[in-house]
A and B are shown apart, each in its own frame.
Chain A
Amino acid sequence: MAKILHVSDKHVTIYIKIRGKMQHGGKRMDKHLNSIVINNSDTIVKDWLVEVSKNRHNDYTSAISEDLFESTNREFVNVIFSSLEKQGITSELDDFSEKLINLGWPLSYLTDGLQAFRRVTINFILSQSEKVDSDHLSKVLDMVDNWVDPIINQLVNEYSGSWEHIVSLQRVALQELSAPLIPVMENITIMPLIGTIDTERAKLIMENLLEGVIKHNADVVLIDITGVPVVDTMVAHHIIQAAEAVRLIGSTCILVGIRPEIAQTIVNLGIDLGKFPTKSSLRKGFQAALEMTNRKIVHEKGSDEGIESLLDSLNGE
């Protein structure tokens, strides 16, 4: 007895909240529609699962295992119903969407699922209605929209929020990667550059270089451009300025990893790199750096491994 009372209580609540959002419609009618959906949740869920499985083959979820797909669908539909019953955003919905975001499920899984729910529910209500006129139809559509739309909005908001968050984190990670400094040895630091250099990155290189030279107390800093695909006048200009700035704070910059074709284009552009030392490879640059800091590689008997092999591993020369 108590249980039944509880259920009907809930229906009353739903009915009041929904009514607040609707522009027109009789009380009895709304209550009636609600009961149809809640009382027939089994049938609706079944129809919905069929509908959702149709999406499975042609798209994003095809890589997900059958078991996981089915259990997620069940969880999803339960979350939808609990949102309907509680009329609004529930903590279940929050938890569920957070879980899917973390697992990397696409937003379209959720929005497609909710669209399918909208279709299935409308079809079901209409199939249960004795007479379907335009007035009745528009009430049904209104009501289902009022259920489904807030859930979709909530999910889209949450997804885009987390997406922006990820993008901003990746941006930070990328910035750290884009001009790294490696203090390989006391007074010698290497900055390996890999990938395209745009103006923003060029500025970052300059900043990191100066900061790093001071922080690591470097006498020599090697800029390795082996991995830079194109050295145009903008890149060359920034490198020249960076080297000049390093010189002003009392250190030396050696440009290394100049591939033959890059050497050619730099010459064609008429850019003069004569002001600061350049070396074709990191290995040669490192040897020059050792000399500049009054060190050299000593070959000890029986220990061929060591710096030599370390250097060999730096670039396959």
Chain B
Amino acid sequence: MDFQSCVKINREWDIVGARQIGREHAKKIGFGTVDQARIATAISELARNIYLYADTGKICFEIINEIDRKGLWILAVDNGPGIADISQVMEDGFSTSGGLGAGLPGVKRLMDQFDIISETGKGTEIRTVKWVRK
């Protein structure tokens, strides 16, 4: 998939920038207030994980406009340390940074589709989609 707009995550405030762009897309596609908040929160989690664990990376967006459905693709990519045990990080409460450990399992619940591709030492790619409810 060819992602149209990407936001680089280098500093903490880039998280806010990514969130704002995501929210703009969500509004344009026609998501309601609650879904806009869900999308903004999911972006915040993914971007903060990049900032915390991979140092730098990017968040990309793509609007899906199919005949029968509309949605928003969000892709979080980094070249950080990667995740060795994916099922472990998807457990509620698992955190290596003293956090709540609610980020990744939370994103999965906030969004409709969720996939992690990760290789240790190479990086992490998280692909997630939210569909507009009819």
Q: Given that A198-B12, A199-B12, A232-B45 are contacting pairs, would A261 and B102 also be in contact in the complex, using a CB cutoff of 8 Å?
A: no
Q: Given that A268-B106, A270-B102, A270-B106 are contacting pairs, would A232 and B36 also be in contact in the complex, using a CB cutoff of 8 Å?
A: no
In the docked arrangement, what's the CA distance between A249 and B100, Å?
A: 23
B9-34 residues with Cβ-Cβ distance < 8 A to A are 12-13, 15-16, 19, 33-34
Contacts of A20 in B (CB 8 A): none
Interface residues of B, dominant DSSP: helix
In the docked arrangement, what's the CA distance between A236 and B106, Å?
A: 13
Instruction: Write out, one digit per residue, whether chain A residues 222-258 have a CB within 8 A of any chain B CB (1) or not (0).
Output: 0000000111111011001000000000000000000
Cβ–Cβ contact A261 & B44, under 8 A: no
In the docked arrangement, what's the CA distance between A232 and B41, Å?
A: 6
Contacts of B33 in A (CB 8 A): 261
Which residue from B12, B15, B102 sits with its C-beta under 8 Å from A269? B102
Cβ–Cβ contact B34 & A233, under 8 A: no
Cβ–Cβ contact B41 & A269, under 8 A: yes
Cβ–Cβ contact B37 & A265, under 8 A: yes
The answer to whether the Cβ of B103 comes within 8 Å of any Cβ in the partner chain is yes
In the docked arrangement, what's the CA distance between A199 and B36, Å?
A: 23
Cβ–Cβ contact A230 & B37, under 8 A: yes
Contacts of B99 in A (CB 8 A): 233-234, 237
Contacts of A234 in B (CB 8 A): 44, 48, 99
In the docked arrangement, what's the CA distance between A271 and B34, Å?
A: 17
Q: Chain A nearest CB: distance from B12 CB in Å?
A: 5
The answer to whether the Cβ of B115 comes within 8 Å of any Cβ in the partner chain is no
Q: Chain B nearest CB: distance from A154 CB in Å?
A: 33
The answer to whether the Cβ of A196 comes within 8 Å of any Cβ in the partner chain is yes
Contacts of B110 in A (CB 8 A): 265, 268-269
B36-75 residues with Cβ-Cβ distance < 8 A to A are 36-38, 40-41, 44-45, 48
